[in-house]
């Protein structure tokens, strides 16, 4: 007789995290630590539902979450743990805990000069920006008006270094319910945009000369933040499974690695998602080597194929992940609202540094907090997700039809841009110049290469333009070619 499948998990009906996510996270945790090995067959949905005293649909939702994340695969009418998961995850090395209770050390960092911002004159569709024509201006204006008239505290005075309490409470709820983080209001610091969040983190973590690994191709604006904090940057390649963790491990074995900056959900700019196996390897490497992972999750809401993959931070049990997010993609860049979630000792330092540089915008923070609390931002994000998915498909179809002989690409599961591979026989930089003469701009792979070398690739944003505008742009690109 087969041994019954034992699943030791205590479900908490009172938790802010839905039951199906509690189940999915518990199973993925068992896979991650090696209790459930590659090839292990999971019980049927009815069997597990009975053992946990939950509805079968709850278990089915959990299994969909695990399949979307690549933890399990379907095989002969059953589910088993994916063979891509490492059979024996590395064991954590013993480490001495500082009073910070983070998985890495906090060190003093000097303040640096202002970060140079990218040129705002660049024309669409190179950016992956939200469609500013669809921002719910009336809702935002009413919430802002109410914030200005608030009686509890002056909305026109200085704000807290941590940010508005109401906004932090709403964000903590969102992060717990939608992104799987164990988060309360004191686990969040508000910033004026995600770039300020990254700048504060870099200045807090890095001493001059510290080694920080970054993705290549990657996000040059983030590289500037690390450089200005004094870091020595080392590029790590990205392939179809995301960051090459084997290269990162080789680097950590030869040099003291301070941090790794990564965009695992939809890698910037290639849009690939970090595979489950590499997610485990990265977390284990960070835990054993005391390396900080800076996870920039800039467009979590815009995932079109199933549910979004949960952040690395949701599986961090060692205090090594610093999680960055933004409201710019949901609303508009001009709102200037980002946030950091992570170990509280780190956040205490970030809040102190922010208070010395900037005292926030209490009225705007309170207004956004109200929109979050009332569910209006989630509703707007759902609406934009449907629109952006249709725009992604329209751009993909137009590119296939008009430029399929010189472009190849995978339709991304999420995000706001496409990453296109160009036939090497095409002079992509010359194509860009001719396209600009026809009123169209895009970004070539050179812009994202760590060494500034030519790459036969193009990044095109689709979210800021409607289907008709996107088709017109592709026709102009074809003419320019």
- Of 86 and 52, the structure prediction assigns the larger pLDDT to 52
Q: What is the pLDDT of residue 156?
A: 64
Pick from 81, 116, 151: which residue ends a domain? 81
Mean confidence (pLDDT) of the chain: 83
Q: Are residues 427 and 293 in the same domain?
A: no
pLDDT-derived band at 162 (thresholds 50, 70, 90) equals confident
* pLDDT per residue as tens digits for the range 323-381: 998 888 887 777 788 899 998 888 989 888 888 877 767 778 888 877 878 878 788 88
Q: Are residues 449 and 401 in the same domain?
A: yes
Q: Are residues 335 and 312 in the same domain?
A: yes
Q: What is the pLDDT of residue 335?
A: 75
Pick from 314, 344, 376: which residue ends a domain? 376
Q: What is the largest CA-CA distance in the chain?
A: 74
Q: Does the pLDDT at position 444 exceed 60?
A: yes
Q: Are residues 343 and 365 in the same domain?
A: yes
Residue range of the domain that includes 191? 133-376
Determine the average pLDDT of the residues in 381-393.
90
pLDDT-derived band at 121 (thresholds 50, 70, 90) equals very low
Could you tell me the CATH number of the domain that includes residue 394? 3.90.1150.10
* DSSP H helical ranges for 103-193: 137-148, 165-179
Task: To the nearest 10°, report the CA torsion of 296, 291, 188, 262.
Answer: 0
Q: Does the pLDDT at position 138 exceed 80?
A: yes
Task: Name the percent of the chain in helix, strand, coil, to the closest 5.
Answer: 40, 15, 45
Q: Is residue 410 part of a domain?
A: yes
Distance of CA 224 to the CA centre of its chain: 19
Could you tell me the CATH number of the domain that includes residue 326? 3.40.640.10
* pLDDT per residue as tens digits for the range 217-240: 999 999 999 999 999 999 999 999
Q: Does the pLDDT at position 408 exceed 90?
A: yes
**Contact between residue 252 and residue 232 where contact means Cβ atoms under 8 Å apart:** no
Q: Are residues 265 and 305 in the same domain?
A: yes
Buried b (16+ CB within 10 A) or exposed e, 193-228: bbbbbbbbbbbbbbeeebbbbbbbbbbbebbbbbbb
The closest alpha carbon to 416, from 291, 266, 278, belongs to: 266
Tell me how far apart the alpha carbons of residues 286 and 278 are, in angstroms, rounded to a whole number.
12
DSSP class per residue in 392-434: HHHHHHHHHHHHTTTEE-PPPSBSSEEEEEEPTTS-HHHHHHH
Q: Does the pLDDT at position 35 exceed 80?
A: no
The backbone torsions φ and ψ at residue 29, rounded to the nearest 5 degrees and listed phi first, read -65, -40
Structure tokens at 161: 């270094």
**Contact between residue 287 and residue 103 where contact means Cβ atoms under 8 Å apart:** yes
Q: For the chain, what is the domain count?
A: 3
Q: Is residue 174 part of a domain?
A: yes
pTM of the model: 0.77
Q: Are residues 323 and 383 in the same domain?
A: no
In a 10 Å sphere around its CB, with 0-12 CB exposed, 13-18 middle and 19+ buried, how is residue 11 labelled?
middle
Pick from 350, 376, 402: which residue ends a domain? 376
* pLDDT per residue as tens digits for the range 238-280: 999 999 999 999 999 999 999 999 999 999 999 999 998 999 9
Q: Is residue 237 part of a domain?
A: yes
Q: Are residues 205 and 319 in the same domain?
A: yes
Q: Are residues 365 and 385 in the same domain?
A: no
Q: Is residue 386 part of a domain?
A: yes
Structure tokens at 460: 């095109």
Q: Count other Cβ atoms within 10 Å, centred on residue 163.
A: 26
Q: Is residue 10 part of a domain?
A: no
Determine the average pLDDT of the residues in 88-104.
44
Instruction: Using a pLDDT cut of 90, give the percent of the chain over it.
Output: 36
Structure tokens at 451: 């060494």
The closest alpha carbon to 124, from 393, 469, 480, belongs to: 469
Q: Are residues 351 and 414 in the same domain?
A: no
Q: Does the pLDDT at position 91 exceed 50?
A: no
Q: Are residues 418 and 371 in the same domain?
A: no
Q: What is the pLDDT of residue 281?
A: 94
């Amino acid at each position: 007789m087969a041994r019954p499948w034992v699943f030791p998990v205590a479900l908490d009906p009172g938790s802010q995290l839905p039951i199906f996510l509690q189940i999915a996270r518990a199973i993925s945790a068992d896979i991650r630590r090696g209790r459930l090995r590659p090839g292990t067959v999971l019980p049927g949905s009815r069997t597990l539902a009975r053992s946990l005293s939950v509805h079968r649909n709850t278990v089915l939702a959990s299994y969909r979450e695990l399949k979307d994340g690549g933890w399990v695969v379907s095989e002969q009418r059953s589910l088993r743990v994916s063979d891509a998961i490492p059979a024996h995850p590395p064991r954590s090395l013993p480490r001495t805990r500082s009073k910070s209770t983070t998985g890495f050390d906090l060190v003093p960092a000097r303040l640096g000069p202002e970060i140079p911002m990218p040129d705002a004159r660049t024309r669409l569709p190179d950016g992956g920006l939200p469609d500013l024509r669809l921002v719910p201006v009336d809702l935002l204006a009413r919430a802002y008006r109410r914030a200005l008239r608030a009686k509890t505290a002056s909305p026109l005075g200085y704000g807290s270094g941590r940010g508005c309490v109401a906004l932090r409470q709403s964000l903590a709820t969102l992060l717990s319910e939608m992104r799987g983080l164990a988060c309360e209001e004191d686990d969040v610091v508000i910033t004026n945009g995600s770039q300020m969040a990254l700048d504060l983190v870099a200045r807090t973590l890095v001493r001059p000369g510290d080694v920080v690994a970054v993705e290549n191709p990657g996000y040059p604006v983030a590289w500037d933040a690390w450089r200005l904090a004094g870091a020595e940057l080392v590029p790590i390649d990205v392939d179809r499974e995301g960051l090459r963790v084997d290269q990162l491990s080789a680097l950590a074995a030869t040099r003291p690695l301070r941090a790794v900056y990564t965009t695992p959900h939809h890698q910037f700019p290639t849009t690939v998602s970090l595979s489950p196996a590499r997610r485990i390897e990265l977390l284990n490497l960070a835990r054993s080597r005391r390396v900080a992972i800076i996870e920039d999750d800039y467009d979590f809401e815009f995932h079109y194929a199933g549910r979004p993959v949960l952040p690395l931070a949701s599986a961090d049990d060692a205090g090594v992940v610093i999680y960055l997010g933004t409201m710019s993609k949901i609303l508009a860049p001009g709102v200037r609202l980002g946030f950091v979630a992570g170990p509280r000792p780190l956040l205490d330092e970030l809040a102190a540094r922010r208070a010395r540089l900037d005292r926030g915008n209490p009225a705007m923070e309170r207004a956004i907090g109200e929109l979050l609390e009332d569910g209006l931002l989630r509703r707007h994000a759902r609406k934009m997700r449907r629109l952006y998915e249709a725009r992604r498909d329209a751009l993909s179809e137009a590119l296939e039809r008009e430029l399929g002989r010189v472009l190849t690409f995978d339709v991304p599961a999420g995000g706001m841009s496409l990453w296109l591979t160009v036939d090497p026989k095409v002079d992509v930089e010359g194509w860009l110049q001719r396209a600009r003469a026809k009123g169209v701009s895009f970004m070539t792979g050179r812009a994202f290469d760590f060494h500034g070398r030519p790459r036969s690739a193009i990044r095109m944003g689709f979210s800021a333009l409607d289907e008709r505008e996107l088709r017109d742009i592709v026709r102009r690109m074809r003419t320019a070619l």
